[in-house]
Amino acid sequence: MSERIVVFTEREAGPVCGLDEGLIRKNGGNVRYGRAADDKERVKITEGADVIVVGGTRLSRQFLTALPDLKGVVRLGIGVDNIDLEAATELGIVVGNVPDFCSDEVAEHTLGLILAVARKIVLADRKSRRGDWVPGMDAILRPIRRLSGQTLGLVGLGKIGRCTAAKAKGLGLKVIAYDPYANAEAAKTAGITLMRLEELLPQADILSLHVPETAETRNIINARTLALLKPGAILVNVARGAVVDEAALAAALASGHLAGAGLDVLQQEPIRLPHPLTEFENVVITCHYASLSEESYAIMRKQTSEQTVQILHREYPQNLVNVQVKDAPQCRLRRNDS
């Protein structure tokens, strides 16, 4: 097999999780790293590439069209909203991802945000560090409610949503969920009640988001849906920033309708200051790292490298996202240009 090129354009040293370069080289691949400032530079770096490994960079139709040799893209992670899947399929480019590398981590982070907001842990830490720990702190920090017995409403019941539900039950939370694509029987077996979003919102003490960014989910949490939440509810978002209307969220916090929010993701990342949501003491913001652990990154490195090798061998990646490409006559994995 002649040498094939694998490219990552977001960091000169390669992805943070790393790639198994030995495995890729053993299977005829040569890895190239670089940091591209824009699409023009990215096209230059990826010229002749057979596979692109991508993190958060957007791969547009225009960019993909400029790479006639490209056979496949492997996404470092779960979400593929940064890749023009329609264009990739039309061009015959396969797209793979790593859909289950961090279910435990994101579920744990979700619970961490819930505890941080509901127990006002971050607020108490800020006050302590500022020297504001004074007698009668209980009066300042109230109200705080016991989590056990409260209702957790999940928007999205995929692998991460189900993992979150299982862990949340250990805290004594009742779990309900909205997901029009979920298997009702599997949800029932897991002890999770599926319902319409409009039915779920007024029952949720805590609303936690676990959906990909799609046309259907963008701004699914907006002024109308926030108003349906019970007064004093908490919002947690570990999904994508675009699923929440941040102006509506700020208004709901300012009015006192929401008791707080825990956010691992924002519409603009990294955060640009000043930002309206940083003005609220009852908001906890983390830097989009819910998936991070040594274990999850080891899985991501392994599965990304293995799927890269599959594409180099003209095989479909194990976690093929755009399955329609299999039936497309223009699929580049079948093109004889060795």
Q: Does residue 226 carry a pLDDT above 60?
A: yes
Work out the pLDDT band at 186, boundaries 50, 70, 90: confident
List C-alpha distances in Å: 100 to 169, 188, 296.
21, 22, 9
Task: Assess contact for 50 and 71: CB atoms under 8 A.
Answer: yes
Residue 336: pLDDT band (50, 70, 90) is low
Quote the tokens at residue 144: 């705080």
What CA–CA distances, in Å, run from 62 to 42, 91, 249? Answer: 12, 11, 34
Beta bridge partners of 156: none
**Given this structure, which CATH class describes domain 103-285?**
alpha beta
Say whether pLDDT at 218 is over 60.
Answer: yes
Average pLDDT of the segment spanning 85-92: 98
DSSP 96-165: E--TTSSHHHHHHHHHHHHHHHHTTHHHHHHHHHTT---TTHHHHH-----STT-EEEEE--SHHHHHHH
At residue 295's C-alpha, the angle toward residues 293 and 239, to 5°, is 50
Does the pLDDT value for residue 335 go beyond 80?
no
- Rounded mean pLDDT of 175-196? 94
Instruction: Name the catalytic one among 75, 162, 240, 301.
Output: 240
Q: Is 275 a catalytic residue?
A: no
User: For residue 73, what are its two tokens?
Assistant: 């893209």
- Asked if 240 is an active-site residue, the reply is yes
Are the beta carbons of 42 and 57 closer than 8 angstroms? yes
Catalytic residue from among 41, 269, 295, 315: 269
Phi, psi of 15, deg, nearest 5: -60, 150
- Counting residues of the chain whose pLDDT is more than 70, the rounded percentage is 98
Q: Backbone phi, then psi, for 155, in 5-degree steps?
A: -105, 100
A 10 A CB-CB count for 229 gives 24
Q: How far apart are CA 325 and CA 224, in angstroms?
A: 38
- CATH architecture for residues 4-100+294-334: 3-Layer(aba) Sandwich (3.40)
Residue, of 260 and 183, whose pLDDT is higher: 260
Summarize pLDDT for 11-32 with one digit per residue, the tens. 999 999 999 999 999 999 999 9
* Residue 130 is a catalytic residue: no
* Pick from 92-96, 110-114, 186-190, 294-298: least confident: 186-190
Residues of the chain with CATH 3.40.50.720: 4-100+294-334, 103-285
Given 210, 288, 301, 314, the catalytic residue? 288
Q: What pLDDT does residue 337 have?
A: 60
Q: Tens digit of pLDDT for each residue in 33-66?
A: 999 999 999 999 999 999 999 999 999 999 999 9
Percent of the chain with pLDDT over 90: 95
